[in-house]
Structure formats: structure tokens, C-alpha cells
Structure 1
């Protein structure tokens, strides 16, 4: 950069959280092209002001690095925004009414798709049946994703289209639930979802583009400047259209940086080809993803000891441990970062064992492997994250249980495992790197909700007042870095992203309030004033004053 070069944009605020210190500072930021050219006082930045320099003053509104969501599913999230949202239903009948109202409002939709029902919030606490859906929608296929996304509720029409009947065998690592007479109940677990989504997700290219643009509008509005789009099970395969993302990138239409993690499987040649194909600053392959287990509420998470309320099972792994280890060792040898969904303490231990074995066989390197979710950990395994250089990729918004959901959750795992649920502080104190995200659409995309949840650990209903496992609460500077710098590190981009520093890419956000100066209960209501990606303003609110 020439010394006399003038800034394209200068931003200033009394509260600039650079990420390098624990508190915001007053500062001016000069941006040239797509990079931060200088950060300093008004006097120091004056030399960067030219005839065409745009200057934005933000008074006490907080400027910080853009949020980096380390774990989400872009098009699945966009689809959820267009579907019926069922989390607020208090009963099966209530859910049915919401689905029917939605179906009546969309008479031309070939499938009725919904998200986020949860029987744990219903008055009867029981899993539903296809017969209830058949009663109101006998002729239109219905596909409703459970809140955790690992099982679905469908009607008979959907089963008919997918050719699922009493004689259909379970697919590998999936379950078609059947009643005492051997008939499908309408609940499909894990990979069995894909038997239906294969038919339901036949979207046109035009619709996929629209969904992607809607997603990018959301990220800009919420100050999310980078995301990691992870492989999300066979059910989502039709929503992983990398070529479509690349077309948007070529056209300059990507307003957030996208880091892809395609599936880890036995086709490493395809993975290498994807890694070599998608290499731009806005769209790149950063790792490979696979599932070790499922979820607690479906008894598909793998535990070291049996479930408290279902002692005949400890859950199971999605793949045989030997297969998983083989794939991990081979991918590690080829230099891939590996990201493993592991929720139960048995799955987390297996993931750590596999990473340890890969390290012994292939040698130690800067692999930055990740374990996703880390929901119920055995205390003996916390320190292994640092020892093996494994990142704990966690989503605080999953802590948003209401009182009833939390009690149900504890009844699954038992009180002796309760203290080790979402052990964020324990992991950090043991030296692990914690990188935060949302798992959108399983949780909302808004980073403010995750920040609030990590600080308070309270559910949506404000319980418990001291927080669920309050000893695991994090501090505000920790949470902000874990939502910016840690995900940048986890994507091998900490030299370019994650803090406000000279030479880094100008990806930043301005919030309407200084998070350090407001009561914690106000954080969910904080809004974005401006979002900048690559030095370009991709969202701005009229609230700002421009000079």
C-alpha cells in the first residue's frame, strides 16, 4: 500500500471491539479496497481521508469483526424459512392445525414441509402417528422435521410416494418405526429420512437460487459474514449444490464467505477434487464431515452407559467404529480437516480415539479436527481436546430448553450425567479451543441469541434463573471471540479473519448498542446497523449517521 493512498471508507465509534483486548476502545478504522489499512485515533486516520472517502460515525454503537457461524446448513435453513414452523405448538392437535392452515395457504405446493415440532413440549409427551396427519391431509404428502432434525413425521401419502410399507427394510443406519402390527407409524429416524426427502426436495434451479439469495439476505441482516456449511446427512444431499454456489460466487453475488465440509466417506478422490475446485476467498472446501451418532431425544446418540429411562440401549454409532477410523486415518493422511458429529459421551470418546489413532499413524500435524456439538461429555475426555489439538464446535442456542424439555432431557441421560451437558467452560479451562455456531435451521441464525444463551444458559422460558449448569457460563469477551476468531482459526483463516487488525479482510459488523454496556437480558434485542464483507457494505440500516 502506498503511504499516500486514501481510504475508501472510514468507520469510527467510541466502542470498537477489535478482539485483541477484553473491552471495546474508541477508534477509527480506515478501509482500502477489501482490507483494513489502519486503526487508530482521529488524528492518526486523518491522513487517509481523500475527496472520495466515505466516513461513517457510529457514536457509542459497537463495531466488531463480523460473526462467523461455524456450523450450519444453508439451504436447509432457507427451506425452513419457507416452511411451517411448529416449535410453538403445545399439543399434537395444535401442530396439526398449524400444518393444515399452512397447507391451505399453499394450495400449489407439491409437498407440505414443516420444521421444529417437539413432542417433549406437548401435553401428552408422546411421539405422533401418521394417522393424525392422514385425518386432515390424506391426499397431499407431508414431511415434518423434528426440532433436532434427526427424525421426521410423515403421512401415508408421503410413505406411499417413497414406497415405504410394512415390508420395507430399515436402510443402513436408519429406522422406519413400525407399530405392533408391523405397519409404519410415520416416524423415520436418521438415514430413513432420505427415503422421503429424495422425493420432497426436487427443487428447480430457480428455487434453489432464490433460497440461497434469501439465506444471504439473512446473513447480511444479522451481521454474519462467514459461515461453515456442513454436510447434513443423506436427507440433505439435494441441498448441497456446490456448483450453484460457485455460479453465485463468479457473479459476485456471495455476500458472505462460505466454507464447505462435504461428506467424509470412502470416496477420497471426489473429496480431493472438490477441495481443488472450490478455492476462492468467498467459497472454499475447508474440511470433511461425518456422523458418529444421532441425538439424545431419539435414543440414537451413543452413550458409554445405557439411557436412564431406556436401559436396554446405549444408542449406537452411525458407522462401525472400524470403518469410521479407517476413513479418518485415510482422510487425515491426505491433509483434510475432519469434523465429526458426536453428541453422546460414547461417540465423543470414539471420535477422540479415532483422531488419536490417526495422529499416531500419520504423525502430528496442524489438522484442526473438530467434534461437533459435544453435548454430553465424560469428564475424563475434556483434557484430550487440547492434547490432540481438537476444536470443540458447539452451538449455545441448543441450551434453549424450556423447563419441561430440560426435565425430559435429564430423564433420558440420568442425573449423574447432567453436570456434563454442554460443558463449554470446562472445555475452555482445560485448554480446548471453542468455536461457536447455530446449527441453523435447528436453531435460529441470529448470533445474539447464541451469545445470550452462552452467557446465561437459561432456556426460552427464563428457567432455570441461575442457568442450566451455571458453572459452564462464559464471559462476554470469550463468547465474542469464540464467535469470530475461533471459527476463523477452525477454517484456517485466522490470518485473514476474526479480529479487527491491519491487513485483515474488512469483514465487520456495527451493532446498535455496545454489548458491554447493556444488561445481559437486552442482548437478544440488539440489532445490526451495518454489515461489511470484503470492504463492501452488504447491509445498512437507516439508523446510522453518515457524514
Structure 2
């Protein structure tokens, strides 16, 4: 309704008004996560987190303890292991998982989410044998005898995920409810649910919650970009509310750096025989973009390598030439390794830079740098360089690839502390705290055409508000990630109060 001094605001109060006094605590617009995967994240909240493991044995011990505590689970699922941090730096195999889980299928997603470690039972359930052919854009890892070794890359994971993620609607409702509570506790009031490799179909569950007025986070849906635009248009017509809407379409152009599935312009420094590949032919990608752009869709591409980023920008540029310029607000996701020639193109083409700053601290820096070599390493996660071009910058977590806490992303953006925990990776790429907060509020709102109603605290906008227990601007930077949310308001309704835990 209004913002102003205490005296100005009291005119709006009556005997039934609840008044909060927050004094020096920081009051900001609700955090708006521009990139995550809701149902995969909901699964992760009830799975084993392996990020802290520093050896294969560490990981196995964590998995075993988790499995013993979840005897009722038909599958044992884990997330965020990274052999780059292990003592041997060697990928694990199915045999070690078999030792602790001989009879129950196990699926452990790598930290980047683009490959997985499975046991023999999981391979059996998915009917993957030495004779199974690689899917398009996927690799079944094999040992020296030609047998599956338990590592599945990209779309080779899908056959296992199909079985592991076969949840009932009751289970989906419970998982989704947990997600909403978790988001509220972290001050996340709006999210973007991007079509992923591991999609669990749950749109009907989201709609159920909305119909019962139990949807406490605004959800922007980004279903798959492919050649089925009629289906996409049907979804867009079906979901178009304040709280649940289709905002555009999403697709993958490449993979990730560590397994060398990200698509580079030049070969990998430590494996000159490959530069990765695209998930679909370049002509196909461009055709899909032109067709979807013509129908008024915004498009978002996962693009990590410099080759993938260039292809995404080329596709958007070609759509402008064919369809004419419009305010399309397309986006490129991740933008990890970019060619300097492509840096100004985001602003020129009106493309949003969608980044997750903590990702550069999740990857073991030496491993990551060895893959790309010193020349490309100069242009890793160039947050400040891109931001100062005037391009729209929007932050997210990629949850469950990373935890859902927005303040961890903000901390990385303002410090650039790398995986060692004390070294700054390219200090010139740091941004200010105010800029980082904008990238988590007004940046995502603009990225989805909602800057007129979300992203700042102004009269006439929707009341999505977060109160932090401390003022980020008056505290040591290293304490930012541990700062707690005091109060979360969505649509003028308190959905989380730290003093009372979660409210619905």
C-alpha cells in the first residue's frame, strides 16, 4: 500500500493491525531464485548430501549410514559427490557401492548433476548391460572388460532416474510441501523451475497447492524447448496466474566442465582430442529458437562452455533477424567459460546473464583450471565484467546442485573466495553487496517481465518481503552465509516467522 516513516504508516493501522518493529534489521524484497529444479530439489532434501566427503570411503560411510536410517526407501539416492575433492581424485565404480548396497538400487548424482554413480542393482533395474548402446548425448561408462562401470553421463542417467524417481502423488505432495517450508525459511518468495535432466512431472501437484491457497512461493515454469510448440502453448495457456505461470522454454546446449561435456570453441587443455559436443545439432537449436521466438516465448539455454554460450547468442541473434527485434528477454544459464568477444553481446541482444556464483567455489579449482587451461581461465565466471556492460544480471542456486540459501550465492559474488576457502579467484570480478542483492531481486523480476510488480519495495507492488536478523551492510562479509531469515512475507501474508518456525 505504501512505504514511509513510522508516523506516515500508522495512518493505515487499526485495532486489528499487527505491527512488527525490526529496528536495525535489514528489510528487503523477497529473494527471487532465477534458476532451480523444484522436484529434484525436493528429492534432495530427503537424500544423502555427499559434498563434504573427502574420499570414496567417506562417501560410502555417509551413504551406508543414510541407508540404515531409511530402511523403508526403495532406492537410496544421494547428491553432490565430487571426486575432484577426494584424496585419489579418481572416479568411483559400482563395485564399491555394491559392497554396502548389494540388494537395493543406489543412485548418486555428481555435484554438477550431469553424471551419476550407480550400483549393479540400479543397472539391473534399468536393464543397462554391456550390450546397451549409448543414448543420443549420453555415455555409459565401461571398464576395461567392456562392462558398465557404474558411471553414467548426461542422458545415460535417464534410464535409471525413470525408476528411482517413480514417486506416488502422495509422496510428491509431501516432498513439495517440504520444499515450500524450506524456501520460506530462507526468504525465497519466487523461483524459476527449469526443465532439467531429471524432471519429475508434478505440475498438477503445484496446481493443487495453488487451488487450496497453499502455494507460498511464486513459481515460474520453464518447460522443455523442442519441436513440440503446440504442447508448450497449451501449457502456457493453462498456467498463467500470479503464483503459477509458464514464463518460457528451456533447453540444454552442453554439459559441464569436469567430465568434459561442456562445449568449447577449442579443445580441452588436458585432453586435446575433445572439445565436448552440443546436445543437439546447431541448426536444430537455431530452428527451435526462431520458431519459439516467433510465438512470443522467452528462451533459456544451459550453456557453460564458450562454444555453447556463443551458439546460444547466435541463435538469439538469428531469431531477431528472422522475426524482427522484440523485447524477448531470452537468457543464458551459467555462463562459466566465455570468449571475450561474446561479453558485449548480452547487452546488445537484450539477453539476461543468469549465474549461480557459488558454483565456482563448488568445483575444485585446480581440476577445473586444468580442464580449460590458462588462456580461458582468465574468463571464468566473469560476473563483474558482464554486469558492467549493462546486461541484466540474475542470480539463482541451481538447487539441488547447490543449497537453496541465497546468501551463500551473494557471499561468493562479493568475495570471489574459491574452493580453498581463503583464496580470491579473480578479485576484479567481485561485485558490491548492493549489486548482488539486486541480482537476487529486481534482476530476476526483470528477467521474467515482472519488474512492475516484484523485485523492489514500492507502493503498488506485490508484498513479497524478507527481514534478515542482521544488516548485511554492517557486518563482516564472512558472516553473510550464516545470517538467518527473521520473517518471510508472500502476497502480504506471513509464511515464515523465525520466532514461531514455519507458518502456513
TM range (shorter): over 0.9
Paired residue for 1:332, among 287, 290, 293?
A: 293
**Cα deviations by residue, 1:164-205 (Å, 9 ceiling, x for unpaired):** 001100011111111222111110000111110111111111
| Structure 2 residue 313 is the aligned partner of structure 1 residue 352 | yes
Counterparts of 2:402 and 2:378 in 1: how far apart (Å)?
A: 23
1:290 matched residue in structure 2: 251
1:176 matched residue in structure 2: 140
| Structure 2 residue 451 is the aligned partner of structure 1 residue 494 | yes
1:438 matched residue in structure 2: 397
1:422 matched residue in structure 2: 381
Kindly state the Cα deviation for residue 510 of structure 1 after the two structures are TM-superposed.
0.5
Kindly state the Cα deviation for residue 461 of structure 1 after the two structures are TM-superposed.
4.0
Query: Structure 2: where are the runs of 5+ without partners?
Result: none
2:28 matched residue in structure 1: 64
* Larger displacement relative to structure 2 (51-60 or 437-446): 51-60
2:355 matched residue in structure 1: 394
Kindly state the Cα deviation for residue 462 of structure 1 after the two structures are TM-superposed.
1.9
| Structure 2 residue 374 is the aligned partner of structure 1 residue 410 | no
2:85 matched residue in structure 1: 121
Kindly state the Cα deviation for residue 131 of structure 1 after the two structures are TM-superposed.
1.2
| Structure 2 residue 486 is the aligned partner of structure 1 residue 525 | no
SS at match of 2:374: coil
Paired residue for 1:154, among 118, 133, 139?
A: 118
| Structure 2 residue 327 is the aligned partner of structure 1 residue 385 | no
Counterparts of 1:300 and 1:121 in 2: how far apart (Å)?
A: 19
8 Å Cα contact 2:126-2:159 kept in structure 1: yes
8 Å Cα contact 2:94-2:120 kept in structure 1: yes
Kindly state the Cα deviation for residue 42 of structure 1 after the two structures are TM-superposed.
2.1
1:539 matched residue in structure 2: 496
**Cα deviations by residue, 1:221-252 (Å, 9 ceiling, x for unpaired):** 0001000010012xx23x13111101110000
Counterparts of 1:101 and 1:447 in 2: how far apart (Å)?
A: 29
Kindly state the Cα deviation for residue 460 of structure 1 after the two structures are TM-superposed.
5.1
| Structure 2 residue 11 is the aligned partner of structure 1 residue 54 | no
| Structure 2 residue 461 is the aligned partner of structure 1 residue 504 | yes
Do the aligned partners of residues 517 and 96 (structure 1) sit closer, same or farther apart at CA in structure 2, a change above 3 Å counting?
A: same
**Cα deviations by residue, 1:100-141 (Å, 9 ceiling, x for unpaired):** 121122222111111111110111101111111112211111
8 Å Cα contact 1:456-1:473 kept in structure 2: yes
Q: How does 1:122-137 map to 2 (within 5 A)?
A: 122-137=86-101
SS at match of 2:149: strand
Counterparts of 2:30 and 2:202 in 1: how far apart (Å)?
A: 25
Paired residue for 1:483, among 435, 440, 462?
A: 440
| Structure 2 residue 166 is the aligned partner of structure 1 residue 202 | yes
RMSD in angstroms over aligned alpha carbons? 1.2
8 Å Cα contact 1:176-1:189 kept in structure 2: yes
Kindly state the Cα deviation for residue 94 of structure 1 after the two structures are TM-superposed.
1.6
Kindly state the Cα deviation for residue 401 of structure 1 after the two structures are TM-superposed.
3.9
8 Å Cα contact 2:365-2:419 kept in structure 1: no
Do the aligned partners of residues 457 and 543 (structure 1) sit closer, same or farther apart at CA in structure 2, a change above 3 Å counting?
A: farther
Counterparts of 1:86 and 1:306 in 2: how far apart (Å)?
A: 31
**Cα deviations by residue, 1:298-320 (Å, 9 ceiling, x for unpaired):** 11000011001011000000111
8 Å Cα contact 1:231-1:240 kept in structure 2: no
Largest Rg, 1 or 2: 1
SS at match of 1:494: coil
8 Å Cα contact 1:529-1:543 kept in structure 2: no
Counterparts of 2:220 and 2:500 in 1: how far apart (Å)?
A: 31
* Larger displacement relative to structure 2 (495-504 or 50-59): 50-59
1:316 matched residue in structure 2: 277
1:84 matched residue in structure 2: 48
Counterparts of 2:130 and 2:499 in 1: how far apart (Å)?
A: 58
Kindly state the Cα deviation for residue 97 of structure 1 after the two structures are TM-superposed.
1.6
Counterparts of 1:102 and 1:541 in 2: how far apart (Å)?
A: 28
- The 4+ residue runs of structure 1 with deviation greater than 3 A are none
2:422 matched residue in structure 1: 463
Q: How does 1:133-282 map to 2 (within 5 A)?
A: 133-233=97-197, 236-237=198-199, 239-282=200-243
Kindly state the Cα deviation for residue 48 of structure 1 after the two structures are TM-superposed.
1.3
SS at match of 2:108: strand
Counterparts of 1:539 and 1:129 in 2: how far apart (Å)?
A: 43
SS at match of 1:225: strand
Counterparts of 2:299 and 2:221 in 1: how far apart (Å)?
A: 12
Kindly state the Cα deviation for residue 543 of structure 1 after the two structures are TM-superposed.
8.9
* Larger displacement relative to structure 2 (59-68 or 43-52): 43-52
Counterparts of 2:220 and 2:407 in 1: how far apart (Å)?
A: 22
* Larger displacement relative to structure 2 (322-331 or 535-544): 535-544
1:25 matched residue in structure 2: none
With structure 1 as the length reference, what TM-score do the two structures score? 0.90
